[in-house]
A and B are shown apart, each in its own frame.
Chain A
Amino acid sequence: MFDYATAAVEGALAAGATYADARAVVGTTEYLGARNGVLEQLDQSESAGVGVRALIGSSWGFYAVPAPTDTEARSAGERAAEIAKASALVAGPLLSLADVEAVEAHWESGWHEHPDEVSLAEKADLVVAVTSDMAASPGIAVAEAGVVSWNTRKWFVSSQGHRISQHIVECGASMSATAVGRHETQRRSYGGRGQYATRGWEMVRETDLAAHCTRVADEAAALLTAPECPEGHVDLILGSEQLALQIHESVGHAIELDRILGWEAAFAGTSFLDLATLGEFRYGSALMNITADATLSGALGSFGYDDEGTPAQRVDIVREGVWVGVLSGRDCAAMTGLPPGGMVRADGYARLPMVRMTNVGLLAGDSSLEEIIAATDDGVLMDTNRSWSIDDRRLNFQFGCEIGWEIKAGRRRRMVRNPTYTGITPTFWAGLDMVAGPDEWVHWGVPNCGKGQPEQVGHTGHPAAPARFRNVRVGVRG
């Protein structure tokens, strides 16, 4: 497959590109989904093709073809260069690339049990059994479960001499139970969307969906008759599942350098962060330590090299509450004089690589969830995301969770339904005053991060442990 990528790069250079790179990608996705004890979906998809990008002047041109011949791959490179040339009608400042060592390398993600080695029957039995179990619980109208695996091989070639192949295996599992009342529904799940990792099927076995059936179903049913989350300003304790999404939305997207530079302004939006304050801006309290770490073994946002050939790396983003780093690629790094972060990836062969989160996580503290609860006089504990919304500068957010509990005088009291909270990003993070320790630190995977036009779906990771935030507005409702 290197030959196709090489032909595409050669075609782009011959047509006038000052730089070109290409990825040949062969990927398969398998999904099995069950509902109320019936296997509902068994889908297998495969895609193979070459995507080539050519740099001319101020713009990238990109062209993608499925399953090309050598000639077609070369032609794709020529088309990419022609597209880049056409951009000159509305030109901007010249684009350059930050230096990255050109390497020849191969990288494979680790797995103990390849998902293809597990029979479809076993996978089907798992999701059917889990949904049968939950559906049999009193009050559950809809029980769903799914397992997914991605098997991706990539061959990357650049005009600067990169020649990198990678084989990445990812797996995921999800489950939820929905109770339907007369006027509303209540849902409980494992991890919201589930759990996902750059690992083999062993990750699904360790997740052990069956072990969560009773709790998930019982909590969904109980929520229907639980009291509404109280309104007001209280101390908010977030479980690690919800904190993972809080990090994703209010930190992960805000620190994307392409957003900060306005490249995503019309769609995803910009960022409240101003590069002039990098190294000085106080993002949150001194307990806030955020890293973007693509080297974290097994986490969903891990890889060997990004889709520009830059090695995976760990970058400090927020250190003791101060903003110190960004997510970047070679072009935006060159434009700003910052080091390239190796954080550029594409959703398959047919999409232009762009800045994506890796594993953006909050480092563990030295407390525990039980200690946090015990130290809280008046608060609400919330977990597992149900709705998420944030403005286009990543400042004003409102999240809804599946479940909450009142915390009074250091003890967990009654369950509350429809828990929501809202805030302004730096104000919210300034209130962080307790973080649980490494024992409760979980690498949550988010498999559905949307960005770009045409829209791309990215896989990101968000390590997090339970944490407390002071004086947060809760109980917002329509």
Chain B
Amino acid sequence: MTPVDPGGICEAVLDAVGGHAEAEVTAVVGGRALTRFANSHIHQNVAEELVTTSVKVCVEGRQASASSTMAATNPRALADKALSAARLRPVDEGWPGLAEGPASNSIDHFNLDTAQAGPELRAGVVSDFVNAGTDSLSAGFFSTSSASVAFANSAGHRSSGRTADAMVEGIHRRGLAAGRGWQRAVAVNEIDGSLSGRTAFEKATAGMEASELPPGHYEVILEPGCVADILDFLSWYGFNAKAHAEGQSFAELGQATFAPSISIYDDATDIASTGLGFDAEGTAKARLDLVSQGVVAALPHDRRTARAAGTQSTGHAVAGGESFGPLCTNLFLAPGVTTPSAMVASVKRGLLVTELWYTRILDPKTQVVTGLTRNGLFLIENGAVVGAVRNLRFTQSYVDALGPDNVVAVGNDARLAISGSVVPSLHLASWNFTGGAQG
């Protein structure tokens, strides 16, 4: 397609809205590609061009949103759609108004090589992953994406930024055993398919001839992929000012809910992170400490929840957030000093967990979650991994898991997870496994 300027689209849509309403516009122009492999060969290989524009208008307190893939050629149609819808709805008493003034920051999680990666490069990384194993079946994906994003509103606020992202994730299977390897980076040249493939193959090999273990409470070492899952749930249902206002969040400001070794923050400005430097309302992002040494310190806000709470937006608005509330998208769990091997060495009897799978929340307030282990579960006895274990089901409160008496150590191995969080391993005193392969 002819290159399209997202800033130009925003201005065209704002022009089309004219003086009829307050308005904010976001335009995304970019591309995504994903090479997928299974049974050790590439079977699905896709790419797409992206041009999406969303507009939110507010006509005398009546707000509506619309989006389109065609605004670059027909901005007026998009503006008219939103305006006509807004005029028909009731007044929105919670409308917080528009972000004002220039508030852009210098965040630029972008890499030109990632943006220009083609199918041959992606196939090469896949080849490296696949060839890292022998006598195994591999499956997974390698993706690259990039985008230029512009935000503009009728109050004069302008923000723009670029993103790039590359990730490889896959498994090697040997019989019923599987191991997982993954890596995510802004720069595609940092992705090492061989390394991820080798990790997956070694886990799969170690997982062969797994034994069955009875359900119960076990001491665990959770690898970073598991910890990212915990952070996602704490964030979606807990660190959310809207859920908090409605009484559905576990979070109580100032309360020592977690162990003193647990500090959680959101920081799009960190070089280890990905994404944009501003949120869906144009507010600049900055570091926000959610948990400081176990104490709940702050909640993320968008403009709507901030207005209701009498505070300022923290830059955590997301598209569609009127319903769900503000969300953190650049989470960090601060690393500790313990190496993963030292964690294993300190366990008398416990489990090393590679991945948590199909996790679903039973109740957002208690944060009780059920799910299963996957792609590598190993028994530790007397400080050493002694064998593989068949996957187990767990039913565990994620808040309790990080509670004051349950965190033994925090790893020094923090890394960018596929989910976008930067997380280390965790050594926990207890984890509630409620079922085995036989139910």
Contacts and interface: CB of A to CB of B under 8 A. Distances in A.
Contacts of B122: 86
B139 to A, nearest CB: 4
Contacts of A400: 360, 362, 370
B358 A389 contact: yes
Interface string A38-57: 11111111111101000000
A47 B69 contact: yes
A95 B247 CA distance: 54
B363 A418 contact: yes
Interface residues of B, number: 96
Interface in B348-395: 357-366, 368-372, 374, 391, 393, 395
B135 interface: no
B314 interface: no
A39 B92 contact: yes
A153 interface: no
Interface string A449-463: 000011000000000
Interface in A58-108: 58-68, 72, 79, 82-87, 89-93, 95
B365 A184 contact: yes
Contacts of A420: 362, 370, 395
A41 B320 contact: yes
A185 interface: yes
Contact of B50 (A45, A66, A181, A261): A66
B141 A453 contact: yes
Contacts of A48: 69-70
Contacts of A352: 44, 46
Interface string B43-79: 1111111111010000000011111111011000000
A394 B320 CA distance: 32
Contacts of B40: 90, 92
A144 B242 CA distance: 14
Contacts of A86: 35, 45, 118-120, 122-123
A391 B65 contact: no
A89 B124 contact: yes
Interface stretch (B220-228, B277-285, B408-416, B430-438): B430-438
A440 B82 CA distance: 41
Contacts of B438: 424
Contacts of B247: 141, 180, 185
Given A59-B44, A392-B357, A128 B127 contact: no
Interface stretch (B147-155, B165-173, B256-264): B165-173
A95 B34 CA distance: 19
Nearest to B68: A46
A264 interface: yes
A121 B89 CA distance: 6
Contact of B37 (A40, A64, A90, A476): A90
B138 to A, nearest CB: 8
B230 to A, nearest CB: 14
Contacts of A18: none
B246 A49 contact: no
B43 A60 contact: yes
Contacts of B47: 62-64, 79, 83
Given A44-B65, A59-B43, A453-B141, A65 B362 contact: no
Given A38-B93, A92-B40, A61 B45 contact: yes
B38 A262 contact: yes
Given A64-B49, A142-B248, A389-B358, A120 B37 contact: no
B132 interface: no
Given A92-B40, A396-B435, A478 B397 contact: yes
Contacts of B137: 262, 265
Contacts of B374: 391-392
A261 B139 CA distance: 12
Given A44-B81, A124-B90, A396-B435, A180 B48 contact: no
A53 to B, nearest CB: 8
Contacts of B38: 262-266
Contact of B365 (A45, A142, A180, A390): A180
Contact of B48 (A64, A476, A477): A64
Contacts of A84: 45
B248 A43 contact: no
Nearest to B37: A90
A265 B204 CA distance: 14
B69 to A, nearest CB: 4
A44 B66 contact: yes
Interface in A1-56: 33, 35, 38-49, 51
B322 interface: yes
B437 A396 contact: yes
Given A40-B323, A43-B65, A62-B45, A120 B358 contact: no
B431 to A, nearest CB: 10
A408 B153 CA distance: 62
A84 B357 CA distance: 31
B395 A398 contact: yes
A423 interface: yes
B50 to A, nearest CB: 7
A184 B363 contact: yes
B322 A184 contact: no
B90 A43 contact: no
Contacts of B391: 391, 396
Contacts of A95: 43
Given A60-B43, A86-B119, A454-B32, A43 B320 contact: yes
A266 B123 contact: no
Between A43, A48, A68, the greatest number of chain B beta carbons within 10 A of the residue's beta carbon is seen for A43
A67 B45 contact: no
Contacts of A391: 357-358, 372, 374, 391, 393
Nearest to A64: B48
A341 B91 CA distance: 50
A184 B141 CA distance: 39
Contacts of A424: 438-439
A248 to B, nearest CB: 13
Interface string A229-265: 0000000000000000000000000000000011111
B85 A42 contact: yes
B50 A60 contact: no
Interface of B: 1, 32-52, 54, 63-70, 72-73, 81-82, 85-86, 88-90, 92-94, 118-120, 122-124, 126-127, 130, 137, 139-141, 143, 169-171, 173, 178, 246-248, 320, 322-323, 357-366, 368-372, 374, 391, 393, 395-397, 400, 432, 434-435, 437-439
Given A51-B48, A61-B45, A83-B45, 15 more contacts: A46-B67, A49-B69, A62-B46, A90-B127, A120-B88, A178-B246, A262-B39, A263-B39, A350-B48, A396-B372, A396-B393, A420-B395, A422-B434, A454-B32, A478-B400
6 contacts: A63-B46, A66-B70, A67-B51, A392-B357, A392-B372, A476-B370
